A and B are shown apart, each in its own frame.
Chain A
């Protein structure tokens, strides 16, 4: 039976999608509008879609008092994201290639090692011990990305890309005398470009959004990432507002003002929000391609 276009169904789907995107968008709009409102109006009337008493004061305040920290944290975030993504992609593709080579005898063992960590982990304490006492990653830039260099899920995703590349190409290269390094660099990487872009995006997002590594491994403020700066602020507010604060003696600290919270949120989300629409097609394409095994 030929597929006919069902206009009604199409409209229905579009409505659903529109509603869903509205739900996703609303908090963001509220944050942006909140950050551009005056504190007293927010306190008195609450949030709205349009800024109440439009002002840039909050941003002026943030950049006035915390400009140095914010810029510093931004640059750390950018460095970590770039360095992290590049090295993570290198490690991941290398591992994926090794596993995808059919003639390699221990590929199943290696892939089992990786797979095993998806099911079982040692827990936070051993991880923390390993990172601080053995690898000495605390208060180093490396500490902000090295523990995440291999995401097993993305590694298997990449393996699937490599497997989808026709084996004949590899064979002909081998006949021409190419070694594994040559095949990997000149054939596999260029042909697996879509996969590369996809995992790079996943890694970049992960590095950009991560606050766990700085929380665990960093105490030097010079190494704070923008997400951690944000997390720190939010965590302190949440804690002060919860009952636990009473236990340590009724701390009279004034949590940052509402508008400042929102401005901070916007600053953190902004780069991703700007880049995402341009990169989004790779996500979709990448996942679809990865799902077809060669």
Chain B
């Protein structure tokens, strides 16, 4: 009796397993067959379902709008039902995003060039080149150069969104102007003045941190080199003042030594907090709670950052300064981010239409970024924005476009003015649009990243002394294969550079 029962159970289990497997086969075949609905959609679009993944917290207002106004507008414009799915930021460029891509889910989300290269190599993104015509409006408002960053082998794998001043990001010092004025100074033009600013403020407010950060190589550029360096990644920089295709192995330069010594000085002086090496999240939180005197700046940080600091310090004012002059600002392109469509998507063209909507006109921009006028925001006579809710919708930073963006009533005119003229005289990096294919040096890259965290980053941030720590660090760097990595990068970059400058 027992025997029969157990056999029966085993049989049942086997059956269940088999049935699960077989039904799945049919299902997984569906996305592969990819019936091309673009044909029927040319006239009178057929209904479609799209899933847009965004990262961060979903606010309750966003949830509400996604069901109501967003739904209606998107349905009306492109006859699609869009589901917004929010994932934690940790899942960006990996984690669940990877799983969703690998399992062939039908969705779109934003990406960066690194993640694009990795995923395209695995065949996880849809080639969007055939659908570029769907972007009629977006193309008008997004810089053409931005598209190049997401082209691989002549194919477009992601669509850049946004257009705003982006040059010289993190090259300026973002100074707490209120503190600067408190100690009787008006502006900062050099490293000496910056350090004087620290000393003076430290006397009055010993509880404040000087620079809540661990990386100031861009800010200090004027003090350790004559080159106009622009970093391609942690290991490789380009000298933008030279018109050649030479890449620079950053950690092997004399400049790195001088920079490390400057940072050591800061560290010993207490400008950089001692915990910066071990507690990185604390740094940002320090800055946001008004505990820092200066930070690395971007064009938009004076007004973006002020919003969070003003919670702790209501009269905080932030101003960007450069520690030197005479070097053109370098830009990687003016886009904010780029959207890709997963390889499992049934209707890539409809996704493209949705991206187009994000940068189509003022009306749609206002709706996606700010919500409903009167309920979520008001606009005064000067075209200034007052938000009536703190809930964020489709993230502001993602959409930001000079053609459409609005400024808050609290942002002073001079800051808006400096933001609008920020990119004047800036140049596009000579490496913009170059994408490194790391397949042949993947192992080296992994090892190098290990050496970076363990040895080079502490030296660069002044936590370890250059003279004592560097020889061993360099040895490790060599052992990890920096030479092979640099050679491969140089080879690919030279080939690409020659191709780019062929016509010139």
Contacts and interface: CB of A to CB of B under 8 A. Distances in A.
A250 B10 CA distance: 56
B308 A249 contact: no
Interface in A204-249: 215-216, 219, 221, 231-233, 235-249
A258 B289 contact: yes
B85 interface: yes
Interface stretch (A3-11, A125-133, A269-277, A278-286): A125-133
A215 B92 contact: no
B102 A258 contact: no
A248 B337 contact: yes
B312 A252 contact: no
B208 to A, nearest CB: 9
B27 interface: yes
A254 interface: yes
Nearest to B59: A65
Contact of A241 (B110, B281, B304, B307): B281
B450 interface: no
B281 A248 contact: no
A43 B308 CA distance: 13
A253 B56 contact: yes
25 contacts: A39-B289, A43-B289, A43-B290, A105-B3, A105-B6, A106-B10, A125-B99, A125-B102, A128-B99, A134-B24, A216-B96, A232-B57, A235-B89, A236-B57, A236-B88, A239-B88, A239-B92, A243-B215, A249-B162, A249-B397, A250-B300, A251-B397, A252-B308, A253-B397, A258-B289
Contact of B397 (A104, A219, A243, A250): A250
Given A242-B280, A258-B289, A106 B88 contact: no
A69 interface: yes
For chain B, the bracket of interface size reads 35 or more
For chain A, the bracket of interface size reads 35 or more
B169 A250 contact: yes
Nearest to A124: B99
Nearest to A66: B60
Contacts of B308: 252, 254
A255 interface: yes
Given A68-B60, A132-B103, A241-B282, 18 more contacts: A44-B207, A103-B2, A133-B24, A134-B24, A215-B91, A216-B99, A219-B87, A221-B58, A231-B88, A236-B89, A238-B89, A238-B281, A241-B285, A247-B114, A250-B300, A252-B300, A252-B396, A253-B395
A240 B281 CA distance: 8
Contacts of B336: 249
B56 to A, nearest CB: 6
Given A129-B103, A216-B96, A258 B285 contact: yes
Nearest to B214: A243
A292 B6 CA distance: 29
Given A39-B289, A215-B96, A237-B285, A254 B311 contact: yes
Interface in B78-92: 85-92
Contacts of B215: 243
Nearest to B28: A133
Given A43-B290, A132-B103, A250-B169, A180 B2 contact: yes
B48 to A, nearest CB: 19
Given A231-B88, A236-B57, A252-B397, A133 B288 contact: no
B464 interface: no
B88 A257 contact: no
Contacts of A231: 88
Given A237-B281, A250-B301, A219 B85 contact: yes
A140 interface: no
Given A45-B207, A134-B20, A241-B285, A252 B57 contact: no
B305 interface: yes
A40 interface: yes
A262 to B, nearest CB: 12
Interface string B54-96: 0111101001000000000000000000000111111111001
B402 to A, nearest CB: 15
Contacts of A42: 289
B112 A247 contact: yes
Contact of B103 (A133, A237, A254): A133
A30 to B, nearest CB: 14
A203 B286 CA distance: 39
Contacts of B418: none
Contacts of B290: 43
- Overall SS of chain B's interface: helix
Interface of A: 39-40, 42-45, 68-69, 103-106, 124-125, 128-129, 132-135, 180, 215-216, 219, 221, 231-233, 235-255, 257-258
Contact of B307 (A250, A251, A252): A252
A133 B27 contact: yes
B170 interface: yes
Contact of A215 (B60, B88, B282): B88
B180 interface: no
Nearest to B100: A128
B291 interface: yes
Given A43-B290, A129-B103, A239 B284 contact: no
A254 B281 contact: no
Given A242-B281, A250-B298, A44 B291 contact: yes
A128 B103 contact: yes
Contacts of A258: 285, 289
A251 B336 CA distance: 10
A43 B170 contact: no
B394 to A, nearest CB: 13
Interface string B367-397: 0000000000000000000000000100111
A221 B99 CA distance: 20
B264 to A, nearest CB: 21
Contacts of B93: 244, 247
B23 interface: yes
B280 A257 contact: no
B102 to A, nearest CB: 6
Contacts of B304: 252
B487 to A, nearest CB: 25
Contacts of A239: 88-90, 92
Contact of B280 (A45, A69, A216, A241): A241
B92 A244 contact: yes
Nearest to B205: A44
Contacts of A233: 57
Contact of B89 (A125, A128, A240, A246): A240
Nearest to A234: B88
Contacts of B55: 236
Contacts of B280: 241-242
Contacts of A106: 6, 10
